[in-house]
Amino acid sequence: MTRSSLTSRWGYYVTGTALAILFLSPLLWSGWASLRTGTGFGLENYDRLFTSDNGIRVHHIVNSITVSALTVAGTLLVATLGGYAFGRFRFPGRDLLFLLTLAILMVPYATILIALYVLLGWIGLEDSLIGLSLVLIMFQLPFSIFMMRNSFEAVPRELEESAQVDGCNSVSTLIRIMLPAVKPGLITVGLFAFLTSWSEFFAPLILLNSTDRFTTTLAVVNMRTASHGSIDYAALEAGVVFMAVPCLLLFAFMQRSYVRGFTSGALKG
């Protein structure tokens, strides 16, 4: 191994280590702060998180799981169909429609939440988990359709043509041939949808009014007020860690498919 290649490799290691420390330090600090008590270290902050009057309850967790599940399912369904249509079919106005879909990414979603709140009231879905899920799905679709279109375009057309020769129609080809081929892209889209919906705060704050429909993020924010109006930072840090653990575990289990989703066509084009 030459000196230049060895230096280059060490440069990659140092850069990667520095970036890892940079991104992990806030989470590690939160974990340390969540265990710190007045007399040392323990689980008192987590106990207070789940037992205080304004702490996290079971229904908050159930609400977050429900919203995340509906968002992931709806995003995967619509993004798969949309990506398949954009990636494998030719129809008038296809490119223009795709550009308009991507243009939604340039619109700050916070600017249209009030309009969406009014719209949900018109259709009878105000202050509901289903309405919140529909809004989160809408926010996810531009990026998700872009990912799925490029994933479908990366699949060799010979596979699709072989299925059609065997008598498969477009639906059968999608289910039997295309979906297994774009599995990494599906996992990537589903993971992004879960991470966004699980940790979303602003949309539930605007769209949910009833405390029994609050998600975990809203419940964690309610923990910020302790006695005499002071902020209970330790309980807040415990809530942050509690919210982060499912995301970290899910990413750890799906890391390989997630990386493949980005490297096997998800960002091509």
Average pLDDT of adjacent 10-residue blocks, the chain of 269 residues: 63 82 84 82 84 84 95 95 87 86 83 89 91 93 90 82 78 84 88 92 90 89 63 82 87 70 51
Q: For 102-131, what is each residue's pLDDT tens digit?
A: 888 888 888 888 889 899 999 999 899 999
pLDDT of residue 27: 82
b/e map 203-237, b = 16+ CB within 10 Å: bbeebbeeeebbbbbbbbbbbeebeeeeebebbbb
CA distance 197 to 132: 9
- The predicted structure's pLDDT at residue 223: 73
Query: What pLDDT digit, counting tens, does each position of 159-203 carry?
Result: 777 877 777 787 888 888 888 888 888 988 999 999 999 999 999
Q: What is the pLDDT of residue 229?
A: 59
As a dihedral over the C-alpha atoms of residue 246, residue 248, residue 249, residue 252, rounded to 10 degrees, the angle is 160
What pLDDT does residue 37 have? 80
pTM for the whole structure: 0.84
Q: What is the pLDDT of residue 34?
A: 84
pLDDT of residue 269: 44
Helix residue spans in 89-177 (DSSP H)? 94-103, 113-122, 129-153, 157-165, 170-173
Q: What pLDDT, on a 0 to 100 scale, did the predictor assign at position 8?
A: 67
Per-residue pLDDT at 4: 59
Q: Residue 169: name the closest of 179, 160, 181, 180 by CA.
A: 160
